[in-house]
Amino acid sequence: MRGRTFSREHILQEFQQHCQELAANDNAGYKQQFEDLCDVGQEFSTRAGELDANKNKNRYPYILPYDHSRVRLSLLESILHSDYINASYVPGGSSARDFICTQGPLRNTMADFWRMVWEQNVHIIIMVTALRESGKVLCDQYWPPERGTGCYGNIQVTTATCKRCPESYITSIYLQQSGSSSRRKVTHYLYPGWPDQGVPHNLSSLGAFVEHVRQHMDNTQRLGPTVVHCSAGVGRSGSFVALLWLTQLCVRGILPDVKATVQDLRRHRVLMVQTLEQYICVHKCLLHWLGADNKDPQSRTQGAHLHTSVPQQSQPRSRSQNSRKSTRRAHQSETAHSHTQQPSQSILQALHTHLRVIHPSNLLRRMRPHSTNPQTSANTHQ
């Protein structure tokens, strides 16, 4: 049985009303929903990332992958812990492994990054951060300059072409494993105008970029997960995956539920959609995208303006070494003054109707939240 679908105009009308209700009383609804998400995932362990042997592989010491959803590399010559990389499988519409969200590679993890790309059969990499910001290195450049070749472990990486678009850079990269004559093409998207722990100033630019990537993914055979990364691989990466997922739902006539989406993402990687500002931005960008004319996405993409200036920012917030719970308590204290406002009942009722009738094999099945049983998740993702 197929669930009822809605027109784009109807989805826009419902979602616009929903956003207005969340924004009332100084964003009280947004604040309450974001506070409700603070404890999601706290039951999951991060033992692999905490090991002394792996500490220097983490860009930020308290942004660690959950054990049940972490990407495992093949062991190098049986070297203990050589399977670790700070990367997590996350859902996106069809399975629990549609995307890999990861930190920006460090100099000492570049070879691991490209090994992951090769082993996971990745053909699309989406980078939503600048390399540097206010003098800070947010991500080391892990691919060669234009028309250059570099070796990272046993993977040879060749940059073939780099195209500058209004809102991004699109680079064609070819990979070749040592001892093999076969090559693989990887498309690398770079969107540099999104500040760390912040939001882009131009929603039209972000919406155009999301739409361009979404269409590319729709028109490309999915051989492996799509890699998305920023600096820590949680805030901007989570926001971007959420937008891709939600726009895909809307294209198929399904009412979007941002909170349920973020909740599912946070069960696979810590702090996905890291700040309240980013949570609100996902709503606003989706609302802007719904109201835009998508009849000619290419022309809209080409006309979008790119903001290349990046404001000052800080690194991802550190969390107490004792427990992630201290950070969540801090989040809760910051939002304790917020007022609870109930979401639109018509939206929730319609969404719940969809969730009941969508067949598990359907592309949209992932809108149903996963089991929070760690043992079940571990069996599924390891």
What's the gap between Cα 304 and its chain centre? 22
38, 101, 230, 285: which is the annotated catalytic residue?
A: 230
Is 165 one of the catalytic residues? no
Tokens of 85: 């990389």
Give the closest residue to 122 by CA, choosing from 144, 145, 102.
102
Distance (Å, whole) CA 23 – CA 18: 9
H or E element: which one contains 164?
strand 155-164
Query: Helix crossing, 258-266 with 235-251: angle to 10°?
Result: 130
Distance (Å, whole) CA 41 – CA 47: 14
Please report where in the chains the tokens 């000052």 appear, as a residue: 312
DSSP helix/strand/coil, 363: helix
What's the gap between Cα 320 and its chain centre? 24
Diameter of the chain by CA atoms?
A: 63
DSSP helix/strand/coil, 102: strand
Give the closest residue to 169 by CA, choosing from 141, 197, 150.
141
DSSP tag of 251: H
Distance (Å, whole) CA 133 – CA 313: 7
Q: Report the catalytic residues.
A: 230
